Amino acid sequence: MNIEKFQESMYKLVVEASTNLPKDVRRAIKEATIRENAGTRSAMSLSTITKNIKMAEENISPICQDTGLPTFKIKTPIGVNQLELKEAIKKAVAQATMDGKLRPNSVDSLTGENSGDNLGEGLPVIKFDQWEKDYIEVRLILKGGGCENKNIQYSLPAELEGLGRAGRDLDGIRKCILHSVYQAQGQGCSAGFIGVGIGGDRSSGYDLAKEQLFRPVDDVNPNEDLRKLEEYIMENANKLGIGTMGFGGETTLLGCKIGVMNRIPASFYVSVAYNCWAFRRAGVYINPETGEITEWMYQDGEDVDFGPSEAEKETAAAVQETETKVIKLKAPITEEQIRQLKVGDVVQIDGRMYTGRDAIHKYLMDNDSPVDLNGQIIYHCGPVMLKDENGKWHVKAAGPTTSIREEPYQGDIMKKFGIRAVIGKGGMGEKTLAALKEHGGVYLNAIGGAAQYYADCIKSVDGVDLTEFGIPEAMWHLTVEGFTAVVTMDSHGNSLHKDVELSSLEKLAQFKDPVF
């Protein structure tokens, strides 16, 4: 094999997966935009998502800034040197990271040190299998941390909130899958996709669940029982009212694929792999002699034009006439300004904001801030950054990360430094909500995964602190224009996330009685 050509092919595969959603995923998102009620927060979110998809494709830049942990699944003819393929893939991943197509996401689990190139012990994940065909198949999925953290595994029998007892049967499996969608809420960047693995042990069950995510969205399960279950889940999970970003709405789930394997008598696991709307997977067939791509996978069926139809244009025009007032914010923000905001308000930010993720929040608990944060805005974001030949930093992707991870720190840090606004996705908990009320703060929900849309709002990078934590975890000083987000937790004790969770729990209870 020409290993250099194979490495080039793997680089193309990584770039395609990161920057261009496959046709089947695009069709599912398009259907969701048609189904959603015009003028709602969910409709606004879906509109932003479709803009972001187009921008990522045109810019050849990451759809979402969290390019995840690359997982390759490879089938090779007997006799192919898998060690050579593995090394070529590593070089391709490192090159894609250097070129800003992947964010450096590989962190030493003990020291917290970022390798800077997405390589490290066990990374990227590469799983080989052999077959008797005369070509190589390589499939890749980029699954971000926000949706990975909403994976869940059930051991049956179990008691499930809202649904009661789930037994070791098809109906118990049904309850587990519905509960998995409920528990994800908006934190996994809904509307999303799920892969389900029935059986196996704890590790093989999760492997089977993730394997289902490689199936096309519109395929048909050959197992009749599982086909019926997939259809049932798709119909009824969307009745929970969680909606896009957890804002409420008509579409919570875009796809459900279920697989089954044998188990031992003592164990019965149902494993669910959750994937956000930015469902980044790609696949290729490779000539084992030349190393070149002969065919791309996931390209079947009709392509999608995300431009609005005439009916959608008319709806948009009608909505614009009654559009919710957009409130302008610019730091430093006063407590009086914050107290005037309420859940549901749409805000647009101009001026300065600072990024801060897990490492920054932990650091600020015990140390002074490198900048004055009084009246300022913290953005839960780990951007993709590139430095030009003159040493100037540029933002290549900059969507929000899941905020709930900062729950142990957020309220204390806001009060300690006088921070007035926090931007993220998925909402936060009771401790932060109490601090917002006491201190006079607000939580703003940006659109998860919309990394190109928000990168376009960032007009300059004016500085950076704490780079020893790595590019995603550093504190970046950003100047923005027209950065749009929704107030979902206000200074009066109100939380949209809490309201949607309680409402969806009530709706979940209607599925308690046996169906299968």
Find the mean pLDDT for residues 299-327: 65
* Residue 94's pLDDT band (cuts 50, 70, 90): very high
Number of C-beta neighbours around residue 415 at 10 A:
14
CA distances from 223 to 24, 112, 172, 229 (A): 21, 44, 18, 10
**Bridge partners (DSSP) listed for residue 193:** 255, 275
Q: Note whether 89 and 218 are same-domain residues.
A: no
Q: Note whether 384 and 490 are same-domain residues.
A: yes
Model confidence at 169: pLDDT above 80:
yes
What integer pLDDT is reported at residue 322 of this predicted model? 42
Q: Note whether 362 and 479 are same-domain residues.
A: yes
Q: Note whether 248 and 349 are same-domain residues.
A: no
Q: Considering the domain boundaries, does residue 203 fall inside one?
A: yes
Number of C-beta neighbours around residue 14 at 10 A:
27
Residues 6-9: contacts with CB within 8 Å, 24+ apart? 6/84, 6/85, 6/88, 6/286, 6/291, 7/88, 7/89, 7/91, 7/92, 7/291, 8/92, 8/291, 9/138, 9/284, 9/286, 9/291, 9/292, 9/293
Q: What is the pLDDT of residues 347-405, one digit of tens each?
A: 999 999 999 999 999 999 999 999 999 999 999 999 999 999 999 999 999 999 999 99
CA distance 75 to 285: 10
- CATH code of residue 480: 3.20.130.10
Q: Note whether 214 and 270 are same-domain residues.
A: yes
Burial grade of 166 (CB within 10 A; 0-12, 13-18, 19 or more): buried
Q: Considering the domain boundaries, does residue 270 fall inside one?
A: yes
Q: What is the mean pLDDT of the chain?
A: 95
Find the mean pLDDT for residues 417-435: 97
Count of structural domains, the chain = 3
What integer pLDDT is reported at residue 302 of this predicted model? 87
Model confidence at 310: pLDDT above 60:
no
3-state SS, residue 59: helix
Q: Considering the domain boundaries, does residue 88 fall inside one?
A: yes
The parent domain of residue 109 ranges over 1-143+281-321
Q: What is the pLDDT of residues 476-501, one digit of tens each?
A: 999 999 999 999 999 999 999 999 99
CA distance 417 to 397: 28
Find the mean pLDDT for residues 315-336: 74
Choose one of 237, 257, 275: the last residue of a domain.
Answer: 275
Q: Note whether 136 and 149 are same-domain residues.
A: no
Q: Considering the domain boundaries, does residue 363 fall inside one?
A: yes
Q: Note whether 126 and 236 are same-domain residues.
A: no
Choose one of 267, 300, 321: the last residue of a domain.
Answer: 321
Model confidence at 321: pLDDT above 70:
no
Q: Note whether 358 and 474 are same-domain residues.
A: yes
Q: Note whether 253 and 199 are same-domain residues.
A: yes
Q: What is the pLDDT of residues 121-143, one digit of tens each?
A: 999 999 999 999 999 999 999 99
Choose one of 266, 290, 321: the last residue of a domain.
Answer: 321
pLDDT-above-90 percentage for the chain:
92
Give the closest residue to 144 by CA, choosing from 84, 74, 63: 63
Find the mean pLDDT for residues 199-210: 98
Q: Note whether 287 and 348 are same-domain residues.
A: no
Model confidence at 106: pLDDT above 80:
yes
CA distances from 432 to 28, 53, 426, 486, 502 (A): 35, 32, 13, 17, 18
Q: Note whether 133 and 149 are same-domain residues.
A: no
CA distance 103 to 117: 8
* Residue 311's pLDDT band (cuts 50, 70, 90): very low
* Residue 10 · residue 92 · CB < 8 Å: yes
Q: Considering the domain boundaries, does residue 515 fall inside one?
A: no
Q: Considering the domain boundaries, does residue 516 fall inside one?
A: no
Which segment of 1-15, 40-54, 71-85, 349-363 scores lowest on mean pLDDT?
Answer: 40-54
Q: Considering the domain boundaries, does residue 512 fall inside one?
A: no
* Residue 358 · residue 405 · CB < 8 Å: yes
Q: Note whether 108 and 210 are same-domain residues.
A: no
Length of the chain: 516
Sign of the CA dihedral with 234 first, then 237, 241, and 244 last? negative
Q: What is the pLDDT of residues 255-309, one digit of tens each?
A: 999 999 999 999 999 999 999 999 999 999 999 999 999 999 999 988 887 766 5
Q: Considering the domain boundaries, does residue 76 fall inside one?
A: yes
